[in-house]
Structure 1
Amino acid sequence: MSTDTEQATPLAVGTKRPDNDEELPAASMTRRRSRLQGRCLICGGSWAAILIIIAIVIVVLALTVFKVKEPVMTMNSVTIEKLAVNFGAPSSSSSQLFAINMTVVADVSVKNPNAASVRFGASTTAIYYRAREMGVAYGPPGTARARRTFRINVTVDVMADRILGDANLFDDLAAGSIAVTTATKVGGRVRVLGVFKHHVDVMMNCSITMAVANQSIVGQNCNQKVRL
């Protein structure tokens, strides 16, 4: 009697079917998070690029259009309002044979070629006779607007007692002219785009020959020096 051997068929392992109600919301949240991160990266990159472009534009403007240029100082005129030479015999109170009274008015202008305003401080003007200081005057501060000219009028009262001891003075007076030199200095500050600050000093030395008879200027030569 044959015995039928029944082969045992293994039972299939049961698998859990995905629960669409649980996995779909999680996948959707992941995709939303990824899109949000991508948008943030794009937005941040755009702002960074804009800031870099603005910085480049500012630097280019500062080096080209708003580059600080040298102001130009000009001695427009030097006027002698009073030049009196009095000769006389020495008195008991003074041993001087002659006396000199002189007032000099200097009209100076500073041209600002920059695209920004320049604020100037008080100016200093000194007059010398053969390297001896005769007088000093100070001009008021002011502002030279962009591509405009700033005027400085200075009145110097000459202290003649400082030069009466010079042996060359009488010879110059007898020759009819006096040679003097003037030194004018003014400092300022220019601000570019409200950010960059530059200090500037403008100095000018002039050699002036003045006629004693009619108190006029017969010769003038000026040199300027600018320090940025």
Structure 2
Amino acid sequence: MKSESVKRRNTCLAVTAAVVIAIVLIIVILAFTVFKAKRPVSTVDSVKLENLHVGLDIAQLRVDLNVTLKVDVSVENPNKVGFKYSGSAAQLNYRGQMIGEAPIPAGDISPGEKTGMNLTLTIMADRLLSNSQLFSDVTSGELPVNTFVRLSGKVRVLGFIKFHVVSSSSCDVTVNISNRTIGDQVCHYKTKL
């Protein structure tokens, strides 16, 4: 009698262990297939010149400049789970030097959602005017600038598996000073998981 009850108990434990292992395997398979973390994609949709004032003092070889760019960025979350990103900043660069910055507040992007962000980048004139190439760029009629946006955050799969994700975009933009428009625009996108 005892051996039969031990057999039943062992059989019950074996079945329970097999069910638990099967459930764990299903969760792991789902985590690495259906719920596999994908990289959010940030895209610069448009760059618009909102304000441009240029004053040229040829006698003193000096340029007075005030430029404001409106940058529309969208971030798409292709995951089956939400993407939570921390606060960041968009940068405006001139020939490798940061000359403007706009804060990007922390936020969440729902699964499969695409979120737009409207950023205003104003040039820090003192940083720009100290660059020796500014005078020649202004006299040529074109000001080359670069916008850089980087978002860093986490994707949680099944509530307990976390993946760190970084998405960035960099756009080289030419500001046409004579007609106050945006000329050439070339963007590069990068994501890391």
Same fold (TM over 0.5): yes
Q: Aligned residue for 2:28? A: 59
Are 2:84 and 1:84 equivalent residues in the alignment?
Answer: no
Q: Distance in 1 between matches of 2:19 and 2:27?
A: 12
Residues 86-134 of structure 1, C-alpha deviation per residue, up to 9 Å, x if partnerless? 24588xxxx7843111122211111111111110111221111111221
Q: Aligned residue for 1:132? A: 97
Amino acid aligned to 1:37 = V
Amino acid aligned to 2:96 = A
What count of residue pairs does the alignment treat as equivalent?
A: 193
Q: Aligned residue for 1:70? A: 39
Are 2:144 and 1:179 equivalent residues in the alignment?
Answer: yes
Runs of at least 5 residues in structure 2 that lack an aligned partner in the other structure:
none
Amino acid aligned to 1:52 = I
Q: Post-superposition shift, 1:202?
A: 1.2
Q: Distance in 1 between matches of 2:180 and 2:6?
A: 84
Q: Post-superposition shift, 1:163?
A: 1.9
Q: Aligned residue for 1:11? A: none
Which of structures 1 and 2 has the larger relative contact order (alpha carbons within 8 angstroms, sep 6+)?
2
Match 2:17 to one of 48, 56, 68: 48
Are 2:133 and 1:168 equivalent residues in the alignment?
Answer: yes
Q: Please say if residues 139 and 153 of structure 1, whose CA atoms lie closer than 8 Å, have aligned partners that are also in contact.
A: no
Q: Post-superposition shift, 1:213?
A: 3.2
Q: Distance in 1 between matches of 2:25 and 2:190?
A: 33
Q: Aligned residue for 2:111? A: 146
Matches within 5 A, 1:188-227: 188-227=153-192
Amino acid aligned to 2:100 = G
Identity of aligned residues (%): 36
Q: Distance in 2 between matches of 1:226 and 1:118?
A: 14
Q: Please say if residues 142 and 150 of structure 1, whose CA atoms lie closer than 8 Å, have aligned partners that are also in contact.
A: no
Q: Post-superposition shift, 1:59?
A: 1.1
Q: Please say if residues 88 and 106 of structure 2, whose CA atoms lie closer than 8 Å, have aligned partners that are also in contact.
A: yes
Q: Please say if residues 63 and 135 of structure 2, whose CA atoms lie closer than 8 Å, have aligned partners that are also in contact.
A: no
Q: Please say if residues 113 and 148 of structure 1, whose CA atoms lie closer than 8 Å, have aligned partners that are also in contact.
A: yes
With normalisation by structure 2, the TM-score equals: 0.91
Work out which of the two has the higher radius of gyration on C-alpha atoms and give 1 or 2.
Answer: 1
Matches within 5 A, 1:102-117: 102-117=67-82
Q: Secondary structure at the match of 1:65?
A: coil
Q: Distance in 1 between matches of 2:33 and 2:44?
A: 29
Q: Post-superposition shift, 1:77?
A: 0.9
Residues 154-198 of structure 1, C-alpha deviation per residue, up to 9 Å, x if partnerless? 222211121223332222222222111122111010000112100
Matches within 5 A, 1:10-49: 31=1, 33-49=2-18
Q: Please say if residues 61 and 135 of structure 2, whose CA atoms lie closer than 8 Å, have aligned partners that are also in contact.
A: no
Residues 40-92 of structure 1, C-alpha deviation per residue, up to 9 Å, x if partnerless? 222211111110001111111111111111221100111221111124588xx
Q: Secondary structure at the match of 1:39?
A: helix
Aligned CA-pair RMSD: 1.9
Q: Distance in 1 between matches of 2:103 and 2:25?
A: 42
